[in-house]
């Protein structure tokens, strides 16, 4: 099996790759077959539970968490199994 993960955050109308420290904005595009896709979003291979936990900790540290009534933060975590 191959396990890969990706994580993004939508905050203040900006989409950021949470696997990269200083990532350029990710673009959300509409694909007629796949639906909405995140162009420029990086993926990381996961070989163990410990590596997954480390990546999740890094992603959590990069999130911009602020409590705003009209503009809540949103993070998305995706995993794929092949």
Binning pLDDT at 50, 70 and 90, where does residue 47 land? very high
- Who wins on pLDDT, 54 or 11? 54
pLDDT for 56 beyond 80: yes
pLDDT for 4 beyond 70: yes
Which tokens belong to 9?
Answer: 């955050």
What is the predicted pLDDT for the residue at 10? 81
What is the predicted pLDDT for the residue at 31? 92
CB proximity list for 64: less than 8 A, separation 6 or greater:
9, 11, 73
| Contact (Cβ atoms closer than 8 angstroms) between residue 28 and residue 36 | yes
pLDDT for 51 beyond 90: yes
Could you tell me the pTM of the whole model?
A: 0.75
Helix (H, G, I), strand (E, B) or coil at 72: coil
Maximal C-alpha separation, the chain: 42
Q: Is 50 left (phi over 0), alpha (psi -120 to 50) or beta?
A: alpha
pLDDT for 15 beyond 80: yes
């Amino acid at each position: 099996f191959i396990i890969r993960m990706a994580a993004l955050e939508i905050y203040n109308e900006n989409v950021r790759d949470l696997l990269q420290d200083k990532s350029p904005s990710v673009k959300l595009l509409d694909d007629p077959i796949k639906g909405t896709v995140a162009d420029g979003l990086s993926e990381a291979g996961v070989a163990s539970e410990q590596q997954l936990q480390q990546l999740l900790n890094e992603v959590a540290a990069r999130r911009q968490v602020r409590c705003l009534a009209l503009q809540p933060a949103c993070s998305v975590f995706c995993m794929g199994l092949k």
